[in-house]
Structure 1
Amino acid sequence: MAKTIYTNGKIYTLDAENPIVEAVVVEDGRIIDLGSNSDMTLQWARVGTKITDLEGMMVTPGLIDSHLHLSGIANQYLDLDLAGVRSKHEMLEKVREKANTIPPGTWLIGMGWDENLFDDLTVPTIEELDQVAPHCPVYLKRTCHHAFLVNSKALEYSQYHPEIEVPSGGTVVLDARTNKPTGLLLESASQLITRHIPERSYDEFKYGLRQAMRHAVKRGITSVHTNDPLYLGGFDQTYQLYHELLNEEQNGLRCNLLIDYPFLKRLKERGMYAGYGNDTLQIGAIKIFADGAFGRRTALLSEAYHDAPEQYGDAIHEQAALFEIMKEARELAMPIAVHTIGDKALENVLDILDQFPNVGYRDRLIHVSLVREDLVGRLAQPGRVADVQPRFIVGDYPWVKERLGEKREKHLYAWNSLLSAGVMCAGGSDAPVEPIDPLLGIHAALTRRAPGDTHEGWNPQEKIGMLEALRLFTIGGAYATNEEQKKGTITRGKLADMTVYSKNLFAIEHVDELLQTDIEMTIINGEIQTD
């Protein structure tokens, strides 16, 4: 591969030794030099060297999304998209329209609804879903993927009956008067339905994933940490899909795969481990759920919900069972990545983690949405990373204030407190729960409010600055997978992954200009990615 000089840029390396340069030289997918335009041209411009003029644009290390589900984004190209729907009526009409296009008995799958956007905050009833889709089973995933709506046909196809055994940690919500299902399922109760939904074809999965990868690259993302085996037909099929799309088709995006704990045995059988693979496709940590989400009050709290004093949330596993899962992972020298939204869930996980030595790869606490002060120090250890999603501030406010109450709000999405205490944080989107666009995540980290809002931000003392926000989506993401020697900064010897912006984020007059900033180029392995 010929050398390329990316010249005439405002290049923020995030490397303290050379914080801002004008030009970067790449060869064979690596950065081999960087400095001023004149020096790099003088030293490296030869016959056959390609020179790309950045025209004064801002450049950073390639953006990394530290936690998302490419499988979920893929489904947006395959299923009914309910993201952004603003009323129950609109949601039902979308279901009706989709139902009218599919034959009787075909499953209608949708995702992305959020009743907190609705005027009356109520979700469709099972009777209403029956009315708009009487001929087909309906399964609709909430934006958080912790709550689900079904119609009677879905229950019928799933052979539901009042005495059916509900998977541990799940709830079938019943009508208080009739004791019949309302159509709402929480957490693992969804398995009653999903085990009866026909598997998508391999080609459908592959098509959706390919589109999801291209979508991510267009948003300036060069690497993702993605969790998918439960949604792509198991571990073997998931790995094969990614191998074909990345190593064979060379779609460009770098992917670190989080592996759900039920596939630990299969991972061992195949001789795979954390770090297995190459710089494009790599095995990551073992993914575990410790609790649910705030939306349906399933996140596990140490004190009851402010708006439901009898509810504390749900532990997905009993503490003894969680210990055994983590012990099994450690026996294979695997790091863990645990979903912890409530403070009690975080405490439970840390109590177990403290009993196991680090395995070399860092453990990840994903979301850490509510963090008591006494837990912050326990996170600030070299072998632990807080994997945060700044855009949650947009999806969860203002209703989350009522869920948790004023006393606990100061501990909610406490990014400044975490960083100030020395906690290493990585930044992600949890897409499709929130949009994959990192610029929206950076905007949320800086403002703690939704685009278009004009207030000072929710819990404003927890705002962080532009440099800190960019570090979340670059250095933090590299650190989470022990790849800080390969990526995260623009440094000699590292992978030539860079993101180019239409505006200089450090020079914008108002933070909302972020929302009018475009990604001009996504450079992976030294090459500009194109459709």
Structure 2
Amino acid sequence: MWMLVNANGYTLAPDGGNFSALVMDGGQIVAVGATDDVRLQYGARVDRVYDAQGATVLPGFVDSHLHLAWLGMQMNMLDLARATSAEDVLAQVRQRASTLPSGAWVLGANWDENRIANRRMPSIAQLDRAAGGRPVMLRRVCGHVVFGNRYAYEQAGLGIHPANPSDGHFGRTPSGDIDGYAYEGATTLLERGIPAMSGSELERSIAAAIDSALASGITGVHSEDVRHVGSLYRTMDIYHRLQAQGKRLRVHQLVGFDALEEYGEWLVEQANKQPTIEELDWLETGAVKLFADGSLGGRTAFLQHPYHDAPTTRGTAIYTQEELNHRVAQVRKFGLPVAIHAIGDGALEIVLDAIASVPAVAQRDRVIHAEVASEPLIRRMAALCDRMIVDVQPRFAASDLPWVEGRLGLQRMPYVCAWKSMLNAGLYLCGGSDAPVEPIQPLLGIHAAITRRLPGTSGDGRFMNEGLTPYEAVKLFTHGPSYAIHREDRKGTIQSGWMADLTIVDTDISNSQQLEMIPRTCVLQTIVGGEIVYDRLR
């Protein structure tokens, strides 16, 4: 049993408020209150006392939507986030290629044509020359578009005239040859040429991503890793091993629809094993993940009306209404909820129809992103709010809004990242980073939810009527993810009997006068299950 005192603490509980001390024992919070009162009651029984010295103590941050395995994998790839010209991209490819043996893949991520001069990436021929005969695959920041050279297409067995899959397409030159770009499901066909990672490589990658999460103040994640690791059993085995090695992070695993049959087998095994609620608090599975569309950046988000800057297309609907309904019904046969990616309003409409077409289950369905949502669609979501939650990514408001008007036109901009309207309509929201698409740090997401602009920029963000209060923004990353998985009675707030998951920072991020300090705020300690798992002061 140990005691934390002299804190600037926020319980975020409905009937709670501030506190300055708490006691933890056996991974749970035992008492919360004023320092003098808690000392008087528990001082003689605690083993140690930690003086917070006025630091701000919050319920442990939880990221409701990211990809830990993918994040770890990208740590060993070229990071093209700062590339501002085609030559920048080529220079990084040349440098990396010079360090690799002949035939090895040059892998990169995070390019964004909106940051590239004239919005022009290199040509496929330039990429061929820069790589010196090596295959190259560079993933766009959104994850829904990749750019590969001819050697990559050869290694994947696609050639220069590959057929388009039903759920994506390849970019073409006027003559019909590939131009290097692959969109949505076509990216999977190109990726199949990349040599698979070994189990030890995957384990090291995920371990590095966990370390990054803990250093960011994250105590738990809702991750989707099976499609990157290749198997649900393999994924869960890696996490079990890492947790046994001391990687203390709570993991709620979403499972892609392609692994549904394997997931069914897993559920039968788990029912026979009957894991305890305490075991599930550390590692469990949840909703089945589906994609209804792509991304606005890649013009593959499916819209109700054509793109403003590409009026011949509405984007890519991964499924027809009937196909999506059928898949959701298949998931329901296992008694499971769905978590469906929907960026565009056209995709959101299809998703709401699909969810409404099947009976509810005990766990909550979730719509992931809902980046473009008109008032009628928000009302439709609100009508389903007792059985679903909206999983939003606040950093999209900072990184996307500066260029999204070009995609959608000014008339549709009020519908973009309309989170305040969703809250006012009675919807429940949870917050994630979508890392590695956006930075993993929840503090950056909290800042974006409030200001709707990037750190270091001045003035108001776009459509500030949709900005959240500091309290609402922090709840996205604390109470919201717990509510999404029916754990709001055990975590997400600081109360006696709740799990002892805490994030301690050096700035009072609830103070509206210190908003510009939020991106520079330091995580001092991350506490999971009553144990300090990250300590900046050590």
TM-score range, shorter chain: over 0.9
Residue aligning to 2:496: 492
Matched, 1:372 2:374: yes
Aligned to 1:405: 409
| Residue 329 of structure 1, aligned match among 328, 331, 354 | 331
State how far apart, in whole Å, the 2-side matches of 1:433 and 1:401 are: 20
Which whole-Å CA distance do the structure 2 matches of 1:253 and 1:462 have between them? Answer: 32
Contact 1:391 1:444 in 2 (8 A): yes
Do the aligned partners of residues 506 and 530 (structure 1) sit closer, same or farther apart at CA in structure 2, a change above 3 Å counting? closer
Letter in 2 for 1:147: V
SS at match of 2:460: coil
Q: Which residue of 1 aligns with 2:180?
A: 183
Preserved contact between residue 358 and residue 383 of structure 1 (Cα < 8 Å): yes
Identify the structure with the greater helix proportion: 2
Q: Which residue of 1 aligns with 2:2?
A: 4
Contact 2:216-2:441 within 8 A present in 1 as well: yes
The match for 2:264 among 268, 282, 291 is 268
Q: Which stretch of the first structure deviates more once superposed, 414-423 or 372-381?
A: 372-381
1:201 aligns with 2:204: no
Query: What is the CA-CA distance between 1:169 and the residue it aligns to?
Result: 1.6
1:338 aligns with 2:345: no
Task: Verify the 8 A CA contact 1:166 1:192 in the aligned structure 2.
Answer: no
Deviations 1:131-183 (A, max 9, x none): 1003211111111010001011111112223554332121110011x221111
8 Å CA contact retained: 1:9, 1:21: yes
Q: Secondary structure at the match of 2:281?
A: coil
Q: Could you tell me how far apart the structure 1 residues matched to 2:524 and 2:188 are?
A: 42
| Distance (Å, rounded) in 2 between the aligned partners of 1:465 and 1:14 | 13
- 2:427 maps to which residue? 423
Deviations 1:345-386 (A, max 9, x none): 011011111111210100000000000111112222111100
**Which of 299, 308, 311 is the matching residue for 1:309?**
311
Q: Which deviates more from structure 2 when the two are superposed, residues 311-320 or residues 501-510?
A: 501-510
Encode CA deviations 1:63-114: one digit per residue, 9 max, x unaligned: 1110000012101322222223222211111111001110111111111111
Shift of 1:309: 1.0
Range moving further from structure 2, 85-94 or 414-423:
85-94
Provide the C-alpha distance between the structure 2 equivalents of 1:355 and 1:16, rounded to a whole number of angstroms: 33
TM-score (structure 2 length as normaliser): 0.95
Contact 2:337-2:361 at 8 Å conserved across structures: yes
**Structure 2 residue aligned with 1:155:** 153
CA-to-partner distance for each residue in 1:279-333, whole Å, 9 max, x for gaps? 1111011000000000121000001111111110111122222111111110100
Offset at 1:264?
Answer: 1.0
Question: Deviation string for 1:250-297 (max 9, x for gaps)?
Answer: 311111001001111111112357997511111011000000000121
Aligned pairs, how many? 527
Mapped to 1, the partners of 2:87 and 2:160 lie a distance apart of: 29
* SS in structure 2 at match of 1:435: coil
Partners of 2:220 and 2:387 lie apart in 1 by 21
SS state of the match for residue 296, structure 2? coil
Is there any run of 5+ residues in structure 2 with no aligned partner, and where? none
d(CA) in 2 for partners of 1:159 and 1:415?
44
Task: Select the residue among 445, 450, 456 that pairs with 1:452.
Answer: 456
Partner residue of 1:117?
115
Q: Does 1:229 align with 2:231?
A: no
Work out which of the residue numbers 230, 236, 240 in structure 2 matches 1:239. Answer: 236
469-478 or 10-19: which moved more?
10-19
Match of 1:297 in 2: 299
- Equivalent residue for 1:515? 519
**CA distance in 2 between partners of 1:50 and 1:297 (Å):** 56
Q: Is the 8 A contact 1:167 1:191 kept in 2?
A: no
Q: Which moves more between the two structures, 86-95 or 493-502?
A: 86-95
Inter-partner Cα distance in structure 1 for 2:357 and 2:323: 15
* 1-structure distance, mates of 2:236, 2:79: 26
Quote the Cα distance in structure 2 between the aligned partners of 1:388 and 1:9: 30
2:445 counterpart residue number: 441
Q: Secondary structure at the match of 1:353?
A: helix
Structure 2: distance between partners of 1:11 and 1:467? 13
Change (3 A) 1:530 1:456: closer
1:214 aligns with 2:229: no
* In structure 2, distance between residues paired with 1:318 and 1:103: 44
Which residue of 468, 479, 486 corresponds with 2:483? Answer: 479
Paired residue type of 2:266: R
Structure 1, unmatched stretches of 5+, are: none
2:358 alignment partner, one of 356, 359, 364: 356
In 2, Cα distance between the equivalents of 1:383 and 1:135?
53
1:258 matched to 2:260? The reply is: no
* Range 253-262 or range 38-47, more displaced: 38-47
CA distance, structure 2, for counterparts of residue 13 and residue 101 of structure 1: 51
Aligned partner letter, 1:226? S
Cα distance in structure 2, aligned partners of 1:452 and 1:468? 22
Amino acid at match of 1:471: K
Q: Indicate the RMSD between aligned Cα atoms, in angstroms.
A: 1.5
Q: Secondary structure at the match of 2:438?
A: coil
Residue 129 of structure 2 corresponds to which residue in structure 1? Answer: 131
**Which residue does the alignment assign to 1:503?**
507
* Distance in 2 between residues matched to 1:18 and 1:196, nearest whole Å: 54
Percentage identity across paired residues of the two chains: 39
Distance (whole Å) between structure 2 residues aligned to residue 77 and residue 161 of structure 1: 29
